[in-house]
Chains A and B, each alone.
Chain A
Amino acid sequence: MIFLRRQLPLLITFVTGLLFATQYYVPHPASERMLTEVTKWLQIIGGFALVLGVTSLFHLHAVKIRRKEPGWGYSFVLYAVMLGTIAVGLWVNGKETVNGTATAFGWIYSNVMVPLQGTMFAILAFFIASAAYRSFRARSREAAVLLLAAVVVMMGRVPLGEYLVPLSGDITQWILNVLNASVRRAIYIGVSLGAVALSLKIIFGIERAYLGGGKE
Chain B
Amino acid sequence: MPFEALLGAWVATGLTLFIFTFLYKDNPLFKLAEHLYVGVSVGYTIVKAYDTVVIRLIYEPMVVQGDWSLLIPLGIGTLMLARYAPKAAWMSRIAFAFIVGVGSGLAIPRVISSYILKQVEDTIRPLVSMAQGGALAFSTNILDPASNLNAVVLLVGVVSVLFYFFFSIEHTGPVRVAARTGIVFLMIAFGAAFGYTVMARMSLLIGRLTDLIEYADPGYGRPSLWLLLATITTLVVWSLRRRDEHPPEG
| A interface residues, Cβ below 8 angstroms from B | 4-5, 8-10, 12-25, 35, 37-38, 40-52, 54-55, 57, 71, 74-75, 77-86, 89-90, 93-94, 102, 105, 107-126, 128-129, 132, 142-143, 145-154, 157-158, 170, 172-193, 195-196, 198-200, 202-203, 210-212, 214-215
Would you call A196 and B11 a contact (CB within 8 A)? no
Would you call B52 and A85 a contact (CB within 8 A)? no
Given A13-B104, A44-B53, A112-B40: A5 and B198 interface contact (C-beta under 8 Å): no
Q: In the bound complex, how far is the Cα of B191 from the Cα of A186, in angstroms?
A: 17
Of the candidates B22, B90, B112, the one having the most CB atoms from chain A within 10 angstroms of its own CB is B90
Pick from B15, B103, B194, B204: contact of A121, CB below 8 A: B204
Would you call B47 and A48 a contact (CB within 8 A)? no
Q: In the bound complex, how far is the Cα of B123 from the Cα of A7, in angstroms?
A: 43
Complex contacts, A16 vs chain B, CB 8 Å: 97-98, 101-102, 105
**Partner-contacting stretch, out of B31-39, B129-137, B226-234:** B31-39
| B interface residues, Cβ below 8 angstroms from A | 4, 7-9, 11-13, 15-16, 19-20, 22-23, 31-55, 57-58, 69-70, 72-74, 76-78, 80-81, 83-84, 89-90, 93-113, 115-116, 119-120, 122-123, 142-143, 145, 150, 153-159, 161-162, 165, 182-199, 201-202, 204-205, 207-208, 211
Would you call A120 and B37 a contact (CB within 8 A)? yes
Would you call A183 and B33 a contact (CB within 8 A)? no
Would you call B76 and A118 a contact (CB within 8 A)? no
Q: In the bound complex, how far is the Cα of B94 from the Cα of A10, in angstroms?
A: 9
Q: In the bound complex, how far is the Cα of B78 from the Cα of A40, in angstroms?
A: 16
* Residue of B whose beta carbon sits closest to that of A140: B187
Complex contacts, B12 vs chain A, CB 8 Å: 110-112, 114-115
Given A71-B31, A211-B97: A152 and B49 interface contact (C-beta under 8 Å): no
Would you call B81 and A48 a contact (CB within 8 A)? yes
Q: In the bound complex, how far is the Cα of B106 from the Cα of A120, in angstroms?
A: 36
Q: In the bound complex, how far is the Cα of B41 from the Cα of A90, in angstroms?
A: 15
Complex contacts, B96 vs chain A, CB 8 Å: 9, 210-212
Q: In the bound complex, how far is the Cα of B50 from the Cα of A181, in angstroms?
A: 39
Would you call B162 and A190 a contact (CB within 8 A)? yes
Complex contacts, B53 vs chain A, CB 8 Å: 43-44, 46-47
Given A146-B188, A153-B196: A43 and B207 interface contact (C-beta under 8 Å): no
Given A111-B8, A117-B37: A174 and B143 interface contact (C-beta under 8 Å): yes
Given A94-B48, A212-B93: A126 and B23 interface contact (C-beta under 8 Å): yes
Would you call A150 and B194 a contact (CB within 8 A)? yes
Complex contacts, B119 vs chain A, CB 8 Å: 185, 188-189, 192
Would you call B188 and A37 a contact (CB within 8 A)? no
Complex contacts, A190 vs chain B, CB 8 Å: 162, 165
Pick from B22, B35, B154, B159: contact of A181, CB below 8 A: B154
